[in-house]
């Protein structure tokens, strides 16, 4: 299944796409408010594959939103592709390097990536496969880990490199408002039985700057989930961005930064294209 979160007029729904991919079937009406999250609530209610709760409508008639807007947490893995670690002058890690992206950074397909040049002049793209958890996971084994996954989406782990390298700690640089585009849909695990076989790429203004495959991850999705779940309970709706391959902007000569008007497209095979325009104030 493909699961989307959509705005239809003033209503917001969690919906699945029908077999054609062109029709939206709303399965949960989202109530907005502090701490509310339609996907988490729909997962808890078990209604994802249930009956329509509102009129079906053409995909073209709704606006796609971030598939999850208020997860309990967004975790991310750094340096998870060996060539990417080395392009940054770092030896590939022996165990997963994890950090947090805060919820204020989440935006959806076609939303703007927005920053002020007073706050960063080195904003970079990172295409990533993102895991969306479907069940509570605590100390799960690598063998069982994928059973706890709801599906997969695309994340652009936008990063302010000056803040990242200046701070020596990554949370601020990775959590600027709008620095976590997610979408366009969540593809459930029945359609992606093996997440380590997916091509992924990033284009800026149509030029391909990253082009790799999740087979090149150092730590696969199952290993990451198991590793994280030994420290912290993973909850349904939690997002785990699994790291970016080589080709990021800071490692290029000369460097490539995201500038006003740039269009960034992050693509993972079998999921889709997450497209965002950059606005610099």
Tokens standing for residue 157: 């782990």
Q: Is 244 in the site for Mg ion (CB under 5 A)?
A: yes
Q: Detail the DSSP E strand segments found in the chain.
A: 2-8, 11-17, 23-29, 57-58, 63-65, 74-78, 97-101, 106-107, 112-115, 123-124, 127-133, 149-156, 159-160, 180-188, 199-204, 207-213, 239-241, 263-268, 272-280
Q: State the nearest-atom distance from the C-beta of 234 to Mg ion, in Å.
A: 18
Q: Binding mask 156-195 vs Mg ion (x if CB under 5 A, - otherwise)?
A: -x--------------------------------------
**Of 37, 19, 15, whose CA–CA distance to 28 is shortest?**
15
Q: Kindly tell me which residue out of 37, 126, 238, 267 binds Mg ion, with binding defined by CB under 5 A.
A: 126
Cα 210 to Cα 126, 235, 249, 280: the distances in Å are 8, 31, 9, 23
Q: State the nearest-atom distance from the C-beta of 128 to Mg ion, in Å.
A: 6
Q: State the nearest-atom distance from the C-beta of 21 to Mg ion, in Å.
A: 28
Q: Binding mask 140-159 vs Mg ion (x if CB under 5 A, - otherwise)?
A: -----------------x--
Region from 4-12, 49-57, 58-66, 119-127 binding Mg ion, contact rule CB under 5 A: 119-127
Q: Which is nearer to Mg ion, 80 or 226 (CB)?
A: 80
Pairing outcome for strands 180-188 and 123-124: unpaired
Q: Number of residues in contact with Mg ion, rule: CB under 5 A?
A: 3
Residue numbers of the site for Mg ion (CB under 5 A)?
A: 126, 157, 244
């Amino acid at each position: 299944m493909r699961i989307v979160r959509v705005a239809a007029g003033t209503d917001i729904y969690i919906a699945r796409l029908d077999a054609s991919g062109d029709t939206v079937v709303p399965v949960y009406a989202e109530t907005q408010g502090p701490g509310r999250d339609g996907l988490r609530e729909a997962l808890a209610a078990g209604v994802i594959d249930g009956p329509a709760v509102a009129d079906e409508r053409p995909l073209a008639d709704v606006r796609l939103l971030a598939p999850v807007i208020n997860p309990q947490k967004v975790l991310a893995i750094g340096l998870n592709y060996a060539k990417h670690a080395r392009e940054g002058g770092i030896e590939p890690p022996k165990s997963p390097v994890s950090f947090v992206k805060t919820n204020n950074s989440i935006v959806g397909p076609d939303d703007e990536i927005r920053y002020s040049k007073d706050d960063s002049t080195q904003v970079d793209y990172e295409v990533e496969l993102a895991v969306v958890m479907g069940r509570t996971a605590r100390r799960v084994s690598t063998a069982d880990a994928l059973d706890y996954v709801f599906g997969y989406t695309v994340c652009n782990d936008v990063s302010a490199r000056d803040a990242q390298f200046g701070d020596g700690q990554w949370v601020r640089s990775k959590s600027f408002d709008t620095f976590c585009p997610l979408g366009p849909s969540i593809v459930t695990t029945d359609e992606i039985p093996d997440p380590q076989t997916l091509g992924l790429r990033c284009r800026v203004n149509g030029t391909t700057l990253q082009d790799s495959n999740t087979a090149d991850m150092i730590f696969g999705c199952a290993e990451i989930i198991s590793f994280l779940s030994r420290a912290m309970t993973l909850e349904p709706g939690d997002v785990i961005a699994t790291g970016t391959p080589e080709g990021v902007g800071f490692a290029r000569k000369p460097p490539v930064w995201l500038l006003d008007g740039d269009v960034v497209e992050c693509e993972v095979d079998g999921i889709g294209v997450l497209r965002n325009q950059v606005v610099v104030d």
